Homo-oligomer: A and B are copies of this chain.
Amino acid sequence: MTGESTGAFAEDTAATRIDERRWAVDVSSRWGVLGGAPNGGYLTALAGRAVADAVPDHPDPATITTHYLAPAEPGPAEVEVDVLATGRRFSRVRATLRQSGRARLEVLAAFTDLAMHDGPDLGTGTPPALPPRQDCIDPGDIGDAPAPPIRERMDQRLPPHAWSWADAQAGADRTRSRTSVTDATDTTGRGAATPGVLPAWVRWTGGEEMTPLGLLVLCDALPPAVFTLGGPVGWVPTVELTVQVRRRPAPGWLRVAFTTRHVTGGLLEEDGEVWDARDRLVAVSRQLALAPRG
């Protein structure tokens, strides 16, 4: 089953088959980030919808890697899908999203049917430490303008300490901001600032159910975790994004945490975890990005 629910995400990732290998999609302007460029996770989900249609027995991304080759723009696009190999568990696929004949992103993935995977949970992971939602901040409430279109699609609640970097971005007092990031404490004992870690509560607006393809957007939609390390604040372009989806999320708010441990030679990784309302891990992600230069 593809199991996509209805709502803005389902509508804006619709894919229409053109022929054996090509799908028509429309890059919606509703998923733009600051500056108007479409969110990278949304573009990956667009390619993913075409793939899911190409391999209906395996509609879910078990692991999907995207390389961003050239900026995409709102408007029509075409996704070409190559099925490289199909087994019982996985279909291996390659996909290219093109606009005006030019490749904008290249995808390599293993799709599966998440419903067929079983086995006991094991491991040391726990859901992100976050203050209760009512103690967190809705970016829309603190005049963080101009709000990019994608924020109309997604409810976000960030811990109060997460916004200290915003002072730095405003050029206010970068030294003070650096200190506040590492010194911030939360009297509940949950959600104290950890340098390099940005946790948040997230869900779609409008009550739309979160789906495996929707998780691809979630893994690329928060402020960069590197901002919490106290260095320069600026553009953090994604070079490559890989998302492993483990489960279809339960309904309700999700908790995410993004972590950057190593900024070296102008490069950084950002690792993400997504947990659902039933305290189950539903996805992990990692991206390679260019470090901000201030």
Which residues does A use to contact B, with CB under 8 Å?
A: 62-63, 65, 67, 69-70, 84-85, 90, 92, 94, 103, 106, 108, 110, 114, 117-125, 195-196, 226, 229-231, 239-240, 242, 244, 246-247, 260-269, 271, 273, 280-281, 284, 286, 288, 291, 293
Shortest 4 CB-CB contacts between residues of A and residues of B: A117-B265, A119-B266, A122-B263, A108-B108
Contact of A110 among B231, B239, B273, B291 (CB under 8 A): B239
If the complex has contacts A85-B69, A85-B103, A110-B239, are A62 and B123 also in contact, measured as CB distance less than 8 A? Answer: no
Q: Which chain B residues lie closer than 8 Å to A229 at the CB level?
A: 122-124
Residue of B110, B114, B230, B281 near A240 (CB, 8 A) is B110
In contact, B65 and A240 (Cβ under 8 angstroms): yes
Q: Across the interface, do A266 and B125 meet the contact criterion of CB distance under 8 Å? A: no
Contacts of A195 in B (CB 8 A): 124
Q: How far is the CA of A263 from the CA of B108 in the complex (A)?
A: 23
Asked if B123 and A261 sit within 8 Å, CB to CB, the answer is yes
Please, how many angstroms separate the alpha-carbon atoms of A273 and B69 in the complex? Answer: 27
Are B119 and A240 in touch, CB under 8 angstroms? no
Q: Which of B62, B70, B267 contacts A267 (CB 8 A)?
A: B62
Question: Could you say which residues of chain B place their CB within 8 Å of the CB of A264?
Answer: 119, 121, 123, 246-247, 280-281
17 examples of A-B residue contacts, CB within 8 angstroms: A62-B239, A62-B288, A63-B240, A84-B106, A92-B106, A110-B288, A117-B267, A119-B263, A119-B291, A120-B263, A121-B262, A122-B229, A124-B195, A124-B196, A246-B262, A269-B284, A286-B286
**Which single residue of chain B is at the shortest CB-CB distance from A121?**
B264
Give the distance in Å from the alpha carbon of A63 to the alpha carbon of B273 in the complex.
20
Set of chain B residues within 8 Å of A288, measured between Cβ atoms: 62-63, 110, 244
Contact B114 A265 (CB under 8 A): yes
- CA A239 to CA B271, docked complex, whole Å: 19
Contact status of A118 and B63, CB under 8 A, knowing A70-B85, A240-B110: no
How far, in angstroms, from A122 to B108 measured CA to CA in the complex?
30
In this complex, what residue of B is CB-closest to A90?
A: B239
* B106 and A239 contacting across the interface, CB-CB below 8 Å: no
Tell me, in angstroms, the Cα distance from A183 to B65 when the chains sit together. Answer: 38
Q: What separation, in Å, do the CA atoms of A98 and B43 have in the docked complex? A: 30
- Given contact pairs A84-B103, A229-B122, A263-B123, A239 touches B269 in the complex (Cβ within 8 A): no
Q: B286 contacts A242, CB within 8 Å?
A: yes
Residue of B nearest to A64 (CB): B240
Q: Find A265's partner among B119, B226, B261, B266 (CB 8 Å cutoff).
A: B119
Report the separation of the CA atoms of residues A265 and B103 in the bound assembly, to the nearest whole angstrom: 35
Closest Cβ–Cβ distance, residue A8 to chain B (whole Å): 28
